Each structure stands twice: as structure tokens, then as C-alpha cells.
Structure 1
Amino acid sequence: MNQVSDRLHHVFKIQSQHKWVNKVSTAEQRIEKLLKLKAVVQSREDDVVQALHADLRKDAEGARSEATPIYGEVDQALAELSNWMTPIEADPTPFIGNRAKIMPESRGVVLLFSPWNYPFALLFQPLVSIIAAGNCALVKPNELAPHVSKLAAEIINEVFDEKDVAVFEGGIDLANEMLDLPIDHIFFTGSPAVGKIIMTAAAKHLASITLELGGKNPVIVDRTADLQTSAATIAAFRNINNGQVCLCPENVWVPEEMAEEFMAIVQGTFQAMFYTDGKLNPDTNGKIIDERNYQRVKGYIDDAREKGATVICGGEGDPELRSIHPTIMTNVPENATIMSEETFGPILNIFTYKEVDEAITHIQQQPKPLALYIFTNDDDFSEMILSKTSSGGVTVNNCLMHVAVPGMPFGGVNSSGIGAYHGIYGFKELSHQRSILFM
């Protein structure tokens, strides 16, 4: 640890000086770094597949999908970075006859922590924004995904000089030491609980922060919705990566007269997608990242059942696969632990309503989620739900898809996150908008 600590402080000192060089770097210089990053990631895609399978048992398609958005971020920067960097002329009123402009400038040295559930994409996607905005970066991959951490370190060391981007592998002790540095900006993706720790650490140095967190993403199914499509879609997205996705649907509100059919479709979808001959298919079920989290997710089910919840299907774990069976629960009481914590496992809680205001009231009383999903064929219904709720983002008649639109910001609100990124929004998030008046 002493060698790592010594190197950390040495590199931070170098980057604290070099950030002034990067501040005046041109779009061409930044793009050159990003294109090299893209090329090296492309050349290591097979290694990405192997690493993600080793850490999370992701299949090849799922693993390659972690690389795809990185390419998209680089391509968008290639096309737009010169425009993003161009100062905006501002109205100098009341100082008529003078000149004013708003100039985006880099924040400086950025500390980047990646999560373990999408350990490759959610390291390199924000790193693209960090580089595009002209910053230096200290990067810590997540130690719970050791194969991806090792690969990410190899890629970063091949692509970047450490005065621009330096990578450090380690656990909590290393993270705490990094947080003690008088950093300029911190970019963290993870849980709200750790997000609070990050925010407290940032306050010591008044560093700016981006927190990409999570929450219990609610779903409202309207009476006009196509029930077959809605239920099948929700079921499929609930078990992506064995439920370890911050955007997965969690609490589903269904009209009471439609609930039985809805759950039957969900069960059928689970069986068709994730089982073979009645057994969990390891090729379509990711594994829970480690034993502690496996027991945590299993504990949510046991706790809810003990407090009166009904397990409609699933409810058990497969210790050999380290997977949780896709689970439906109903009658989950408010005092169940799962009602107040993000699950990060394949558990779908079903609630029924007579009037949709019941669902709206419940959602309003909870912390603001990262995502909200609405299934309806009535535009007025979706607009009404939007007007009475708040969330980081929304997809209507599907799940997760809003995150794939490069022209929209991705981020949470309050307990589900602070700040947003992707495309120009990432550039703005990792820049300071400097107001300048010439007199």
C-alpha cells in the first residue's frame, strides 16, 4: 500500500500542475486521445468479454454492449467537440458597447470511481467526458470486479500518460486515501449510501461532484396498456444482469383486475428467457457479484416473507450459480427492508390499485428514483403521471431506453443522483462555465 500511496501522491502532484496544460488543449488534441482510447478498446473487445464473464457471467452480447456506448461517446465528441468548446457570446447589458462571453473551461483533476455492475462501460463512458472537457483524471476501477479492473488498468496505461489519466487498483483504504486529496471534481457511480460518504469527503475541499446513484424505480401500468407487451418487457428488464442494474424496474403498480394476468405473463417470460428444463440457465442469468451481495438479496426475500409478503414465484437462490431465481412478490409490507433499499437483484414487487392516485401518492412519498416507467396507450395519462412525479428519467412503453438517447442527459435527482452526463451534457458537467466581461 505504501508504494501505491507514494505513487498516488506523486501523480496527483504532477496532474495538479499538468491540468493547466490540459486547460488550453485544443479539440484536436483531446480527440486524438479519445480516438486512441476507442481503438485500444476495440482491439481488446474479446478481453472485455472474457473479463465480464469472469466477474459477472455476462454473455458475449451483454459484454460487448458495455463497449458500444463508449464508441458512441467518442464519435459524438469527434463530431461536436469544437462546437462545445466554442465560447458563447453573451449580452453585456447594462454595459452597452462592451463585450461579454461564457467560456467552458476544464475543472482540473477529476477523481473517477466506477461501479461493479457495469464496471467497464461506467468507467470509460464518464472518462470520455472527462477527457473531452480537458481534465486530468485519477481513476479507481471497482475492486469487486477484479478481472475488469485489471483489464481497465491495462487499457488506461496503454492509452494515456499518467499526467493525463492515471489508474489505481485497490479497495476501500485506497478509495479513502484518494478522497483525502484536494481534488477539483469527483465523479462517482454507486449506491446512495456511499454517495453520501463521497459528498461528505468532497465537502472537505469544496470539490464539485457528480453522483450517479440509484433507487427503487417504479412502474405504472395503465388500463389502456397492452398487457402482454408490458408484462413481458418488465419481466425481461427486471432480470438483466440478474437484476444488478440501477435502471431496472422494481415496484410495479397494476390495476387490480389485471394483476393476475399480468403476473402470469411475467412468470411465463421468466421461464422462457431464464430457464432451461426448469432449471436456471447459466448462459442467460448473470451471477451476483459476490457472496455478501448474494446473501443480501436473498435476505430481502426472507425478510419480506417473514413480515407477510407472498412469494408468487422464485424466492430461492442457486448457490452454485450464485444467482437468485427471478422472483415476484405481492403484499409486501412497508416495514420490509426491501421497501427502503435498492434491491440490485431480480425481485419484482407487484402492487395493485383501483385508482391510479394510489400509486402516485406512494411514489410521491418515496425518495425520487433514477427512472420511472409508464405503460399506456393514452397520452393524457402519461402526461398526468409526469406532472405528478419526479425522477431522473422516464421511458414510456418500455424500460431503460431513455439512457440510450445520446442527445439527452442521464442522471438522477436528489437521492438518485446529482448531475448528469452523456454527450454535450457530460462535457458541460465536467466543465466550468466561466463568465467574462470585457470593458
Structure 2
Amino acid sequence: MLKLFQLSKYVLNLIIHKPFNFQTMQKENIDINATLIDQVFEMQKAQAIKMRMSSVNQRIILLKKLLDWIKSHQVDIRRAIHADFKKPYPEIDISEIFVVTSEIKHAINHLEAWMKPKKVSTPITMLGSSSYIHYEPKGVSLIIAPWNYPFNLALGPLVSALSAGCTAIIKPSEITPHTSALIRRLVDETFDKSQVAVFEGEIDTAQKLLEKPFDHIFFTGSPAVGKIIMKAAAENLSSVTLELGGKSPAIVDKQADLTDAATKIVWGKFVNCGQTCIAPDYVLVHQSVQIPFLEELKAQIQKMYDPSEKGIEKSKDYARIVSTKHLKRLKHLMADAELKGAQLFFGGYVNEDDNFFEPTVITNVTDEMEVLQEEIFGPILPIKPYDDIEEALGYINSKPKPLALYVFSKDEKQIQEVFKNTSSGGVVANDCVLHFLQNELPFGGVNNSGIGKAHGHFGFLAFSNEKAVLKQRIGFTASKPLFPPYGFTSKKIIQSILKWL
């Protein structure tokens, strides 16, 4: 109705020969959107109070409605995501649809156990009392989703919000408009706006949403934008989960199975055209195996994306860069690296008409190059040799803590040394990326790479308030002898407590 009203107003202006002012209409759109945000937020505040008492079955009903819609609209989901950046359908099935459906099924199977109050032990100083932790929904939540996995990273957090009993407003990315429109359609057809709502739009929409006093904000994106989100959340003391990124390293030591390591690194790096927050951002390879490792990388890239030797650009299994803007950023990274001495080992071809950027491997990289300073978020893989593991660990520890870290080795002692002497959101031995699919593990960063954890039980906890509950008996209690006035007996008891308990 609002769009119809705006169109009618435009036509009327033409009829009576008044000049049409696009800036005025744009401002009206923003004002209308702001009004709708206010209305929906108030609706969700009221609904959130009701949902505090929601049962396991009531929450499961909502999760099943979401699951049923996804199952019956898989073709629509594939088409929307493919339209945004030509992501191959099998990649969509695994990295977008399956990730969400498995998260829903996991929540349905475990929600009753998650919601049960957790009893805690009673110390001797609290004799006569009982205590437990009650998990209550935080309330109204905001989910700000990125463009790189636009379906998965919008609906995964929604599963956690619904499991915890929260209402949710989703702000999908404007960079992937087809997927954003599909998410809006999904929500409109599945939920009442008082439960879940979607607001599309650009920065103005996000800013207006961030002005509201949400009970929890779940953001996935870059560390730079994460800082902006955290500042906005501080104005209302909203709790946050920040799923950020950073430069996730991979270590290939001299005892690694080079074919196995190259196969997994190629897949982890170039899936989704490298636009993955936990993709290997650079590889530290032992100098004694650098040359054979590079040859294995080349062989595996060709095996996955050019088996018929017709060119990777013709492969149906390779996605595209999401926008011209991001393609230009990647071209700049390559130009900067080559200007400062990097050597192109493989790839480098770019077709701007199709946002195609070939899988690219570069060597002879140094810290003066931007490819080793900022998160690449694209199909450029720098290779940096090292002499001993202490050098590799020192290099990693000199950088901000990454979202993920990967180590490839047959030596368990070496693997444990990496695990114990580095800090990262997650760490994987002899594989890449797969920890994201393990719903029993917490997913998230540390410091620069994120705050808070997601997935499964950890996502449920992110959207829940762990409320402390203590029940005390009526009459005499262990604490009453400590009440004033503080006579000889009470002082002796207090001294005993300090000494022995």
C-alpha cells in the first residue's frame, strides 16, 4: 500500500505539472521506513514479554515452520543466491541450505534439554537453600547479516533467536538484493511481524535500526564495521554477538601430506570465490616443501575448476565476486603486491564484465604488501615460507587474533604445539572450514575476530539470559547468625568462615 501511495503521488505530480523531486521522495521513503521500524519494534517488545513463557513445543513449532518453508522452496533459494553472484548450486546446497536446516534440526532435537533449569551445588554457607540457573529469552533481537553467505548467515542466527524465545528483526545485506528479497518473502510467509520481521535497505536502514534499544544484537561482518555496531549498542547497553573475520592462517609443515593439504586448502580458500570469513587467508609453508606444495596447489586448482582444460572461467563450479566494487578492491591488492615484488605463481586473470577473478596464488610476499595487512576476502592466496615452527608461531602471534587457524601435519606433537601456542576463534588440524558445520562446537572469534559464540547450544545461550535463581527456607537459615548486631558469637562465626571456608 505504501509503494502504491508513493506511485500515485508521483503520477499526480506529473498530471498537475509539478516538478518531481527525487531527493524529496527518497527522504519520504526513509521517513516511512523509520515509522515502520518504530511500529514493528513496539510490536516485538510486546510479543517478547509473552514469549518469555513460551514452551518447548511452541518454539519448536516456529522452528518447524522455518524448516518446512526452506524444504519446499529450495529451487527459489538456489536461484536467488545464484542471481546475486553466480554461486554454483551444489555450493548453495551445502554452504547455505544444509547449514541452516542442520542447525534447525539440531535445535529441535536438543531444545528441551537446553531449556531445562540447571541445578547448581549448595556451599555449606548456604545450607537450607537451593539454587539453579533459569534460561530466559533476552527479548527483542536484531540480526545484521552479511552478503557473502546471505541466506546462511541471516537465518542461522534466527534459529538461535527462536530457540531462545526471542523475537527478531533481520537486516539482510543490500549487496545481495535477490537473496534479501527472498529472505523477506520467507519471513512474511512464515511468521507474524510481531515474531520476526525483515527490513531491507542500505546504511540509513541499518542506522535507524541501531538506534532502537534491542536486547541483543547479532552482527556478522568486518572488524571495522563491528566496532561501529558495538558503539551503537553501547548507547542502549545492548548485548552483542560480533562474528567478525581477520587473516586466518594455514600452516603446512615439512611432515604434512602435501596432496591432502593442497586439496583441502584449495577447497577452503576458493569455495564461494574466496569470499568466506574463515577461508585460509595466507599459507605459512615450511621452506623445504614450498616448491612441491605449490605444484600440488596448481594441480588441485586445475582438478577442481578446470578438469576439461577449457578454462576456469567456463567452470560452472566457480562463483563470482559479488560486485564491481569488491572486484576493484581485489585488483588493487594484486597490483600493490606485484608492485612491491610479489610473484604470480598461478592465475591472476580478471574479467570485469563478469566479476570473474581467477583462483590466484602468489609468492615472495612481504608485510609491506596490503595482501598481508588486511583480510583478502577473495581468491588470492599468498604463500610465505618459514624455517622452523617457532618462526611461524611468532609471525601469527604478532598479528591480531584470527577467526580460524589451520595446521597440516602428520606430527601430533607439532599440532599440539600450534594449538597451545596460538590464540584464535577456532583451530583445525588437517582440514579447513569444517568446524563451522559442527553444531556441537562454539563458533566465533576472539578480540579482533569477534565477541561471543554461535551455533547450537552456544547460539541458544547467546540469545538467553542465564538468570540466577536462589530459593531460601523460611525460618532459621545459615546466614541469620551473621546479621547485626555483631556480638561475640557472630564475630567468631565470621572469623571461622574467613579461616576455614
TM-score (norm: length of structure 1): 0.98
Q: Which amino acid aligns with 1:431?
A: S
Q: Quick one: which amino acid aligns to residue 171 of structure 1?
A: E
Contact 2:371 2:382 in 1 (8 A): no
Q: What is aligned with 1:350?
A: 383
Q: CA separation in 2, counterparts of 1:344 and 1:219?
A: 15
Q: Give yes or no for contact 2:254–2:288 (8 Å, CA) kept in 1.
A: no
Match of 1:9 among 25, 38, 47: 38
The Cα offsets for residues 114-153 of structure 1, whole Å up to 9 and x where unpaired, read as: 1100000111111000000000111111110000000000
- The equivalent position to 1:370 in structure 2, one of 403, 420, 427, is 403
2:371 alignment counterpart: 338
Instruction: Tell me the amino acid that sits aligned with residue 378 of structure 1.
Output: D
Match of 1:85 among 100, 107, 115: 115
For 1:326, the aligned partner's letter is P
Moved more, 125-134 or 266-275: 266-275
Distance of 1:323 and 1:211 partners within structure 2: 30
Verify the 8 A CA contact 1:222 1:375 in the aligned structure 2: yes
Unpaired runs of 5+ residues, structure 1, are: none
TM-superposed CA distance for 1:405, in Å, is: 1.2
> Is the aligned partner of 1:105 residue 2:139?
no
2-side partners of 1:321 and 1:338: how far apart? 23
Asked whether the equivalents of residues 220 and 375 of structure 1 are also in contact (C-alpha less than 8 Å), the reply is yes
1:155 aligned residue: 186
**Per-residue deviation, 1:271:** 2.1
Shift of 1:353: 1.3
Q: Residue 67 of structure 1 aligns to which amino acid in structure 2? A: I
CA contact under 8 A between 1:285 and 1:323: conserved in structure 2? no
Q: What is the letter of the counterpart of residue 305 of structure 2?
A: F
Deviation, structure 1 residue 69: 1.8
The farther-off stretch of 224-233 and 297-306 is 224-233
Q: How does 1:35-434 map to 2 (within 5 A)?
A: 35-65=64-94, 66-93=96-123, 94-275=125-306, 276-434=309-467
Report if the CA contact (8 A) 2:169-2:199 is conserved.
yes
**Unpaired runs of at least 5, structure 2:** 1-29, 473-501
Which structure carries more strand by proportion? 1
Q: Tell me the TM-score normalised to structure 2 length.
A: 0.86
Is contact 1:52-1:58 (8 Å) kept?
yes
**Quick check: which has more Rg, 1 or 2?**
2
1:236 Cα shift?
Answer: 2.3
- For 2:471 and 2:159, the matched residues in 1 are separated by 33
Question: Cα distance, 1:207 vs. partner?
Answer: 0.5
Number of residues of Structure 1 aligned to a counterpart in Structure 2: 439
Shift of 1:91: 2.4
Distance in 2 of aligned mates of 1:122 and 1:419: 15
CA distance in structure 1 between the partners assigned to 2:411 and 2:242 by the alignment: 34
User: In structure 2, how many angstroms separate the alpha carbons of the residues matched to 1:176 and 1:282?
Assistant: 40
For residues 311 and 237 of structure 1, the distance between their equivalents in structure 2, rounded to whole angstroms, comes to: 20
Distance 2:375 2:396 in 1: 14
The Cα shift of 1:45 comes to 0.5
Identity %: 40
Residue type matched to 1:325 in 2? E
Instruction: Compute the displacement of 1:377 (Å).
Output: 0.8
Select between 226-235 and 100-109 the one with higher mean Cα deviation: 226-235
2:469 maps to 436
Q: Distance in 1 between matches of 2:137 and 2:292?
A: 54
Range with bigger deviation, 426-435 or 282-291: 282-291
Distance 1:384 1:13 in 2: 52
